[in-house]
């Protein structure tokens, strides 16, 4: 390989966001109960499982929250407590993926490292909080809300290549979503590395029965689709841990 630059997604690649999604569900139940609706977290998780299994919904949709709350209450929740969780407090609820800091330490001595991710600007604060911002080239930190681009548009990936000053076959993209990471990376000619660790290997240990219920559900019904449906969604490489990423790039 002649790779010079490695780009990373953030959600479920650098950080495990399962606990953050769980906190969002908790806050949604709180908003529903404030309306007098008889929802519990356990019931919402079961509904999430049923919709994922029978309605071909592979992850929790905000449009479902809007169905339950109604437009006005949804807007208040989405821009209120949900916003606080996903922006202001995100570093509290995210978990650094096991082995990721050590991986970045090894790779940044050999490659330029960058980010291509649909994330809020507060993501840089989370990267700094966990001590990994220093491994990324400042010119290659592609946070969607900061640079004004978003996946799966190929222009976001072309932005990364241009800023890195490298050809497509000299760059790789490590991501967890087929449609948002793998397909556009393939379209521009980058090496596509599909990162899909098992839920149990992502560093979040359940602390109560509801957390355990949620983890069991997403372990067999993942948050993102795991089956390519287009030719462009087939990755060049599939890895399940930071160690496998290291072995491949070494």
How many domains is the chain partitioned into structurally?
A: 2
135 and 221 together in one domain: yes
Nearest alpha-carbon partner for 107 in 14, 24, 218: 14
CATH code at position 112: 3.40.50.1000
Query: Which ranges constitute the DSSP H helices of 108-147?
Result: 123-129, 144-147
pTM: 0.94
148 and 244 together in one domain: yes
Q: Which domain holds residue 35?
A: 20-90
Among the candidates 90, 120, 135, a domain finishes at 90
**Please, what is the Cα angle at 168 between 162 and 169, to 5 degrees?**
145
40 and 64 together in one domain: yes
37 and 67 together in one domain: yes
Task: Give 141: exposed, middle or buried? Use CB within 10 Å, 0-12, 13-18, 19+.
Answer: buried
Q: Residue 95 — pLDDT band, cuts 50, 70, 90?
A: very high
Measured CA to CA, the distance from residue 88 to residue 35 in angstroms comes to: 25
Residue 175 vs residues 116, 222, 224: alpha-carbon distances, Å = 9, 15, 11
**pLDDT (tens digit, 9 = 90+) per residue, 36-82?**
999 999 999 888 888 777 765 555 568 788 889 999 999 999 999 99
66 and 140 together in one domain: no
77 and 155 together in one domain: no
Mean pLDDT of 98-120: 97
217 and 152 together in one domain: yes
190 and 167 together in one domain: yes
109 and 218 together in one domain: yes
């Amino acid at each position: 390989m002649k790779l010079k630059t490695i780009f990373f997604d953030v959600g479920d690649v650098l950080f495990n966001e399962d606990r953050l999604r769980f906190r969002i569900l908790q806050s949604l139940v709180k908003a529903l109960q404030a309306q007098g609706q008889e929802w519990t977290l356990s019931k919402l998780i079961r509904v999430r499982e049923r919709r994922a299994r029978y309605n071909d919904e592979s992850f929790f949709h905000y449009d479902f929250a809007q169905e339950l709350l109604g437009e006005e209450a949804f807007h208040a929740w989405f821009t209120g407590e949900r916003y606080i969780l996903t922006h202001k407090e995100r570093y509290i609820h995210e978990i650094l993926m096991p082995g990721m800091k050590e991986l970045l330490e090894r790779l940044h001595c050999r490659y330029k490292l960058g980010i291509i991710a649909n994330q809020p600007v507060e993501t840089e604060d989370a990267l700094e909080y966990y001590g990994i911002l220093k491994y990324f080239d400042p010119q290659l930190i592609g946070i969607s809300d900061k640079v004004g681009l978003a996946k799966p548009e190929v222009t976001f990936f072309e932005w990364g290549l241009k800023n890195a000053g490298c050809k497509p076959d000299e760059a790789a993209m490590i991501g967890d979503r087929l449609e948002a990471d793998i397909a556009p990376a393939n379209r521009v000619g980058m090496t596509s590395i599909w990162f899909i660790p098992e839920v149990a290997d992502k560093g979040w240990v359940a602390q109560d029965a509801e957390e355990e219920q949620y983890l069991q559900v997403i372990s067999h019904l993942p948050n993102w689709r795991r089956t390519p449906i287009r030719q462009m969604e087939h990755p060049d490489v599939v890895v399940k841990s930071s160690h496998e990423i290291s072995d491949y790039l070494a």
